[in-house]
Structure 1
Amino acid sequence: MILNLTPHPIRLYGPDRVDGSDDLTEGLVETFPPEATPARLAMVELGGGVHFEMVEYGHAENLPPRRDGVQYIVSLVVALALADRRPDLLVPYREVRNSSGTVIGCRSLAQPV
């Protein structure tokens, strides 16, 4: 099972889907609707000076614990921050764009390592 922990639907298209079409159904294989609460990368402010703040990243918020047989689609920043600890995280890969260049989906999912 794959659950989508991003704030928007993830459309998975076949590898032959071309960019530039505004038809969302052309080549569509599957759509993963978003879960109620997206996973986010938390920030911990460590202090700083007048012109900058020191911020620690790497703590995920709203990310469920690992479960057998379940993988989670998350944002790339969440997956990269946890790649060495969470092999169950997937990200959209090989984006599909419409006629105005906006990303409308992906051709595959990737597991960052």
Structure 2
Amino acid sequence: MILNLTPHPIRLYNDDRPDGIDDLEPGLRLVIEPEPKPARLGVMPLSTEYRDGIPVELVQYGHALGLPRRAEGVSYVVSLPVALALAPRRSDLLVPYREVRNASGTVIGCRQLAQPV
């Protein structure tokens, strides 16, 4: 089972779907609707320093919010920042891969899912 923990539907297209088409239907294989609560990458502020008089916050990323524990037979589609931060510890995280773009260059879907390692 694959669950979508992004805030957007994941549209999976056939390999031969060309970019540059605004119609969402041609080549559409599957839509994975989002779950009610998306997984987010949490941030922990550590301290503030100043560079050229500008405050710069030192922060630590890597704490996921809204990400369920591993479950047998379940994979989770998450954003790339979430997957990259947790890849060393979580093999159940997937990201959209080989994006499909419309005529204005906006990502509307993907051709595959990938597992960052």
TM-score (norm 2): 0.95
The residue type equivalent to 1:10 in the other structure is I
The aligned length equals 113
Gaps of 5+ in 2: none
CA-CA distance at 1:81 after TM superposition:
0.3
CA-CA distance at 1:28 after TM superposition:
0.5
Q: Give the ranges of 4+ consecutive aligned residues of structure 1 lying more than 6 Å apart after TM superposition.
A: none
1:22 aligns with 2:22: yes
Q: Which residue of 2 aligns with 1:12?
A: 12
Q: Highest Rg: 1 or 2?
A: 2
- Identity between Structure 1 and Structure 2 (%): 67
Cα distance between partner residues in 2 of 1:100 and 1:81: 30
Q: Which residue of 2 aligns with 1:80?
A: 84
- RMSD (Å) for aligned C-alpha atoms: 0.6
- Residue 90 of structure 2 aligns to a residue in which SS? coil
CA-CA distance at 1:49 after TM superposition:
1.8
Gaps of 5+ in 1: none
User: Mapping of 1:1-113 within 5 angstroms?
Assistant: 1-50=1-50, 51-113=55-117
Cα distance between partner residues in 2 of 1:8 and 1:48: 34
TM-score (norm 1): 0.98
